[in-house]
A and B are shown apart, each in its own frame.
Chain A
Amino acid sequence: MSTDSCHHCRLPIPPADAIIDRIDGQELRFCCQGCRSVYRIISGAGLGTYYEKRQLSRSGLPAGTVQDTYDDAYLSGFVSERHGKGELSFLIEGIRCASCVWLVERYVGSLAGVSEIRLNYGTHRGRVVFDPLAVSPGAIFAAVARLGYTPRPFSYDAARQAEEREQRTTLIRFGTACFLSMQLMGYSLALYAGYFQGIDPASRTLMQYFAALVTTPVVFYSGWPFLRGALRSLRTRTANMDLLIALGVLSAYGASLFALYGGGEVYFDTAAMIVTLILAGRLFEGSARRRAASGVDRLLRLTPEIAHREIGTTTEVVATGSLRIGDILLVRPGERLPVDGTILAGSTEIDEAAVSGEPLPVLRIAGDPVTAGTLNLSASVRVQVTAPAADSFVARVARLVEEAQSRRAPVQRLADRVAALFVPLVVLVAGATFSYWIWAAGTVDPLLAAVAVLVIACPCALGLATPTAVLVATGASAERGILFRGGDVLEGTARLTLAAFDKTGTLTEGKPKIAAIRPLAGSEEDLLNLVARAEGGSNHPLAKCIVAEARRRGLESGDGGGIRTLPGLGVELDLEEGMLRVGSRRFLQQAGIGGMDPFSGEALTEIHAALGDRYLGSILCEDTLRPEAADAVARLRRLGIGTAILTGDTVEAARSIGDRLGIDEVHGALSPGDKAEWVKNAMARGERVLMVGDGINDAPALSEADVGCAMAGGTDIALETSDLVLTRPDLTTLVAGVEVARRTLGIIRQNLFWAFAYNILALPLAAAGELAPIHAAAAMAASSICVVGNSLRLKNL
């Protein structure tokens, strides 16, 4: 009794909705039957420690669809067989924390016939191994759904398998390089000690042979990606980092082999360390970039895989992909629309937030179009299919995203651009050195001097210049709520010249708030009290904001009893004084009530109230601006970044927001393709565009832009298709992200300076034949330490 929040999901419980249950001698309160059922399942399965382990950052249940049946025939298509066991991969929506992973694994793992289940915390993908004779795929999915999560079958296509194989191979190459380089350093230490203190010639030769033994696999196995890249670079006649790396590595290795038989100094440690350190940098960069590719997957998973098609007087479950134009579907409350269609019968309210980002449910009646991926809220409806699954709105957006992602050339790395100039210079210097010493015919071996030049050009520090700065910057930024998805995103963010914003949920809160209360007579509290009584039982966002305001002012709200809801119009409640009507202007006009003010034209939502035939007044609600939006826009302008608004809303609504924020360029009534087209045109004009949004109608523009930025709380699709994610819904974090990126670019340039300073000092010494291997190694280490140390300065952002 002391708490009015649900024991399972921690949401506040409207008093009339409380469900009290006695479980294990305790009286517990829940907000709905779903939470009570899930709690019983969790307790019954002996998994009560779920409540101790979970760390909810947001209360509430996952927003997935309610799907009460999983078709075994359909799911069988995703099951692969291995050693008599079935294996099924799936994607689970609604995973929030490690407790969710734990709960699903324990509960599904306890089903009879399930021998193994593993859920990946980071990607929300799982794999279950089961006995097909003891349990069916449908039963496994139903078990997951009973806990409140939404499972979806998931199949690894060839491209994804190849990608994962490549990832593991890279990790193995790096591990191999690390192990062998550690062995190598033991031998090199002996050789360096011998250089200072003297060493027995036989022992020296032995160490050199062992060094050669362990260096060979580092160079040719771990370093194979660089060698292959260098070959490609030579074939296309363009110099890049791989060519620079290969030149240094092969020069050091070749010279060392030569010295092994000729009795000179060896550079095996140089060759191995180049490969190891640069491979480490590539590994760090690669893991960040891989996440960006999963956005299209999430987009295509937004629509359900099965649909209920009417056949005569009954319905059958069919795969969504098999639907044809003209089919008639039954869509029940809590289900998502599987395809685009038109409502044939019935009326309902649809949550289109996942598709458009608009926060309010929309009334749809017979004849209205509906969009795949939207969530049916109120009532069952019959829908006629107007486009097959492959041509639905969501599928078209997914294709736009894929086109944008493939068309966009990756930002050329600064290091690669530098290497393109550096490689010819180094080769030229080496050639000149060789020629000079041939001509001088004196104290220095021409070949050794030329090789020393190539070895000294080894780009250890150059290769570390960018990855170390990016690694430190992305780590420090993440602590401040800014997630950069890769180093190229950092470089792109630093160069932005134009920021385009979506409106709802990005510049505005996405939650309605009361802007004004206009009673015709009497006080604001009187009007608010009456309206709150009528709206108390509703879950509509507008109703929620009215009830919240009433509570804030200490007024009572109704419990929903006796209220009749008219979808899209309003509510009715019989009182002693007469019938209380609260709702839209049209609602009151239909009831014959006059006296309302003309429409003001402001971008506000009006809620009118009448008692009997007497008009009482209106309450205006607005989707309020984020409090920090104006400040963020002003700061972006001071950074030299222009601003624009791109929205699917009307031009008037967008201009109203733009005027208040000081954004001059405003474009309204845009489709997802229009937004992407606008971004593309701006980039064609030479602008570096940042797109900020939160809905999947922003996904194509987010992919098309130089940098796509998603707001926290936006749809999963927007989050996954963007390069930059703000984990807190605060636009000033975006400005901080730009500042961090610019500072990081400065650090990278400083790192490159240190790298080149090393080369500029060392090259003449090498050319003169004055540089011994020990000095070269020490200088290289010093240069790398400078680069890493400089990068660490980014920790103090």
Chain B
Amino acid sequence: MHSSTLILIILSLFLGTGVWLVFIWAVKKGEFDDIEGAKYRMLEDDLPPTRQGEDVDEKSPFP
């Protein structure tokens, strides 16, 4: 009884600490700086992989 309760409490503390560390990492990385743009970013599609730097430069009418 006591030992299992203790294990569960310590496990939840470690899991929570992990989430907390991820949160701190996200804050320092600036994930929370622009809370308005995030809701639009999820609508963006990735570009086709064939279109990269040099290809775009060639197509640009103003090199």
Residues of A near any B CB (own CB < 8 A): 37, 40-41, 44-46, 49, 53, 98, 101-102, 106, 110-112, 119-123, 146, 164, 168, 171-172, 175-176, 179, 182-183, 186-187, 202-203, 206, 210, 214
Contact = CB atoms under 8 A, between A and B. Distances in A.
Contacts of B27: 168, 171-172, 175
A120 B37 contact: yes
26 contacts: A41-B61, A44-B56, A44-B59, A46-B56, A53-B40, A53-B43, A98-B37, A98-B40, A101-B40, A102-B44, A106-B47, A111-B53, A112-B53, A112-B54, A120-B34, A122-B36, A123-B34, A146-B62, A164-B33, A171-B27, A175-B23, A182-B16, A183-B16, A187-B9, A206-B5, A210-B9
Contact of B47 (A46, A101, A112, A175): A46
A121 B19 CA distance: 27
| Interface class of chain A by DSSP | helix
B6 A206 contact: yes
Contact of A121 (B16, B37, B51): B37
Contacts of B36: 121-122
Interface in B10-53: 12-13, 16, 19-20, 23-24, 27-28, 32-37, 40, 43-45, 47-48, 51-53
Contacts of B28: 168
Nearest to B13: A183
Contacts of B56: 44-46, 110
Given A101-B37, A175-B23, A45 B43 contact: no
A202 B2 contact: yes
Given A46-B51, A203-B2, A179 B19 contact: yes
Given A101-B37, A101-B40, A171 B9 contact: no
A140 B7 CA distance: 57
The listed residue with most B CB atoms (<10 A of its CB), out of A40, A46, A49, is: A46
A219 to B, nearest CB: 17
Contact of B23 (A44, A53, A119, A179): A179
B35 to A, nearest CB: 7
B22 to A, nearest CB: 10
Q: Which 7 A-B pairs have the closest CB atoms?
A: A121-B37, A98-B40, A122-B36, A110-B56, A120-B34, A112-B53, A44-B59
Nearest to B54: A112
Contacts of A45: 56, 59-60
Given A122-B36, A179-B19, 14 more contacts: A44-B59, A46-B47, A46-B59, A53-B40, A101-B40, A102-B40, A112-B54, A121-B36, A121-B40, A168-B32, A176-B20, A182-B16, A183-B16, A186-B12
A37 B60 CA distance: 11
A760 B28 CA distance: 43
B16 to A, nearest CB: 6
Contacts of A164: 33
A102 B36 CA distance: 13
Interface of B: 2, 5-6, 9, 12-13, 16, 19-20, 23-24, 27-28, 32-37, 40, 43-45, 47-48, 51-54, 56-57, 59-62
A122 B34 contact: yes
Contacts of B6: 206
Contacts of A46: 47-48, 51, 56, 59
B52 to A, nearest CB: 8
Contacts of A172: 23-24, 27
Nearest to A179: B20
B25 to A, nearest CB: 10
Contacts of B43: 53, 98
B49 to A, nearest CB: 12
A214 B17 CA distance: 11
A665 B36 CA distance: 43
A377 B48 CA distance: 42
A44 B44 CA distance: 19
B63 to A, nearest CB: 10
Contact of B34 (A49, A121, A206): A121
A275 to B, nearest CB: 16
Contacts of B16: 179, 182-183
The listed residue with most A CB atoms (<10 A of its CB), out of B9, B19, B35, is: B9
A121 B41 CA distance: 10
A98 B44 CA distance: 10
Contacts of B37: 98, 101, 119-122
A53 B41 CA distance: 11
B61 to A, nearest CB: 5
A727 to B, nearest CB: 15
Given A41-B62, A44-B59, A45-B59, A175 B40 contact: no
Nearest to B28: A168
A110 B52 CA distance: 7
